[in-house]
């Protein structure tokens, strides 16, 4: 009898153990979908190639997790995500910037909080506000990119105007008078426009807005719920921008130009100074130059000018990874772990477009690659004024009000003040929905 009971217990034990093992194995098999913007452009690889290498690498460490990548374009990606949210067909994770992840998707409740995988004490303080909503992390911050002005040093050398650039100053600080003189100095270089502005769509609007902010305009009221960019300083900034067209200092067609068109002109040597530039454009340019696929010229990076005596400014464009709210908790957990892995490996973080890691203790791109120009810019977060592209609820819609009004100012349909007033009024109408 005793033998019988013991035997039955043994069989039961074996069955339960087997079920547990198989059950665990079945639970751990997770297939994730990652929608990836081409944010690893500094590797010089085609979009999706480096991401696939990362997935393969992660798959070796976590054989039960398989990750499928779908590459998004900056032009169509946001619309695709919007449709996915409305139709409940979201991917498991996405990499993007806080303007969409926090100000849009998290605000709409489409993302899950990530506080359980983020050690707040390890995130650089400057990046916490843009990664959180109502005190919770909804984006695993990866890296940030200091936004600069790019200058074709070769053109300025040829024009004998190199001395007009603030290269001798330790922090490269300069004023808008200095910038205007520098642009004037290359006005007559044959086949070259001093600079280019863009109002074709909302992309890279930060470059134009930075001008207004570095003129001293306050983007928001202190409560962050109302735009105040149309203060006296903002109007001066807008007048300066529009004045560039009247003085013949910009390439024609600003009202229809995209930021990417302006960068192309800069890379083709048709524009001497790019009003928005950063390391993520400089590094692929260098790769292309080395391969003989781009013209050889030197680029120097400068901060945005400021009022005399003030430190010049930059804006840190943060990027990170977020996990969508789906019905499958196992997938959510696995996606969070993958996001954590991506954002905590220095080599991966420094392959992204950001050159300054968001997690403490990592070196910057300039330091690891012994690149003095990029290393110098990487320090600006601590040495220059930081003008944040504020992440607030409704910002995605607010941005769409900027470019039609900037077009109106550039084409003379509205005065600079009227265009700025109309933009701010339309933006505040949008913000009213979120902050009644």
Residue that is written with structure tokens 């080599």 in the block = 347
Kindly give the pairing relationship between strand 30-36 and strand 271-277: unpaired
User: Is 79 an interacting residue with respect to another protein (CB under 8 A)?
Assistant: yes
For another protein, the closer CB: 110 or 322: 110
Q: Which of 195, 201, 213, 280 binds another protein (CB under 8 A)?
A: 201
Nearer to another protein, 29 or 108 (CB): 108
Query: With binding defined as CB under 8 A, does residue 413 bind another protein?
Result: yes
Token pair listed for 387: 């003008």
Spatial distance between the Cα atoms of 435 and 279, rounded to a whole number of angstroms? 36
Tell whether residue 408 is a contact of another protein (CB under 8 A).
Answer: yes
Which stretch in 18-26, 41-49, 76-84, 224-232 sits in contact with another protein by CB under 8 A? 76-84
Q: How far is the CB of 346 from another protein (least distance, A)?
A: 36
Task: Tell me whether strands 271-277 and 140-152 are parallel, antiparallel or unpaired.
Answer: antiparallel
Count of residues of this chain found to bind another protein when the rule CB under 8 A is applied: 33
Using the rule CB under 8 A, is 256 a contact of another protein? yes
| Residue 54 engages another protein in binding (rule: CB under 8 A) | no
Residue 317 CB, shortest distance to another protein, in Å, is: 20
Stretch that binds another protein, among 114-122, 154-162, 350-358, 408-416 (CB under 8 A): 408-416
Site for another protein in 266-325 (CB under 8 A): 268, 270
- Please identify, using beta-carbon distances, which residue of 129 and 404 lies nearer to another protein: 404
Site pattern 110..149 for another protein (x: CB under 8 A): x---------------------------------------
Question: Encoding tokens for residue 383?
Answer: 């040495």
| Sole window of 103-111, 135-143, 221-229, 380-388 interacting with another protein (rule: CB under 8 A) | 103-111
Residue among 199, 316, 348, 420 that touches another protein (CB under 8 A): 199
Q: How far is the CB of 397 from another protein (least distance, A)?
A: 6
- The answer to the question of residue 412 lying near another protein (CB under 8 A) is yes
Phi and psi based region of residue 380 (left: phi greater than 0; alpha: psi -120 to 50; beta: remaining)? alpha
Compare residues 40 and 406 and give the one whose CB is closer to another protein.
Answer: 406
Residue 410 contacts another protein per CB under 8 A: yes
- In this complex, which beta carbon is closest to another protein, that of residue 256 or of residue 294? 256
Residue 37 in the binding site for another protein (CB under 8 A) = no
Nearest to 389 by CA among 129, 201, 72: 129
Q: Which residues bind another protein (CB under 8 A)?
A: 78-79, 82-83, 85-86, 108-110, 193, 199-201, 251-253, 255-256, 265, 268, 270, 396-397, 400, 403-405, 407-408, 410-413
């Amino acid at each position: 009898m005793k033998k019988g009971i013991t035997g039955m217990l043994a069989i039961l034990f074996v069955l339960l153990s087997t079920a547990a093992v198989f059950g665990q194995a079945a639970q751990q098999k997770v297939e994730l979908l990652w929608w990836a913007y081409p944010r690893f452009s500094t590797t010089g690889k085609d979009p999706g190639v480096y991401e696939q290498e990362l997935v393969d690498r992660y798959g070796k460490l976590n054989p039960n997790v398989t990750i499928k990548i779908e590459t998004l374009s900056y032009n169509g990606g946001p619309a695709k995500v919007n449709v996915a949210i409305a139709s409940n067909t979201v991917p498991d994770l996405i990499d993007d910037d806080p303007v969409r992840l926090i100000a849009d998707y998290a605000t709409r409740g489409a993302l899950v909080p990530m506080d359980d995988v983020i050690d707040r004490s390890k995130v650089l303080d400057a990046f916490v506000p843009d990664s959180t909503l109502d005190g919770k992390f909804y984006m695993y911050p990866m890296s940030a990119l200091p936004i600069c002005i790019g200058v074709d040093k070769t053109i300025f050398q040829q024009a004998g105007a190199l001395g007009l650039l603030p290269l001798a100053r330790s922090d490269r600080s300069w004023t808008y008078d200095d910038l205007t003189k520098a642009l004037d100095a290359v006005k007559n270089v044959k086949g070259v426009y001093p600079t280019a502005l863009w109002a074709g769509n909302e992309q890279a609007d930060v470059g134009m807005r930075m001008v207004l902010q570095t003129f001293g305009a306050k983007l928001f009221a202190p409560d962050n719920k109302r735009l105040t960019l149309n203060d006296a300083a903002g109007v001066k900034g807008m007048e300066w921008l529009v004045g560039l067209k009247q003085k013949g200092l910009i390439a024609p067609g600003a009202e229809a130009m995209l930021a990417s068109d302006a960068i192309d002109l800069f890379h083709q040597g048709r524009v001497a100074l790019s009003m928005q530039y950063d390391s993520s454009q400089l590094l692929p340019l260098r790769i292309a130059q080395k391969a003989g696929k781009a013209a050889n010229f030197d680029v120097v990076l400068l901060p945005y000018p400021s009022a005399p005596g003030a430190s010049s400014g930059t804006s840190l464009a943060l990027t990170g990874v977020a996990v969508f709210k789906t019905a499958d908790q196992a997938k959510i957990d696995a996606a969070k772990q993958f996001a954590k892995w991506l954002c905590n490996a220095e080599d991966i973080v420094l392959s992204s477009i950001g050159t300054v890691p968001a997690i403490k203790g990592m070196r910057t791109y300039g330091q690891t690659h012994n690149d003095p120009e990029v290393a110098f810019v990487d320090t600006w977060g601590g040495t220059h004024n930081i003008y944040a592209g504020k992440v607030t609820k409704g910002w995605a819609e607010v941005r769409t009000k900027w470019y039609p009004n900037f077009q109106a100012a550039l084409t003379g349909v509205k005065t600079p003040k009227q265009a700025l007033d109309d933009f701010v009024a339309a933006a505040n109408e949008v913000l009213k929905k979120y902050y009644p």
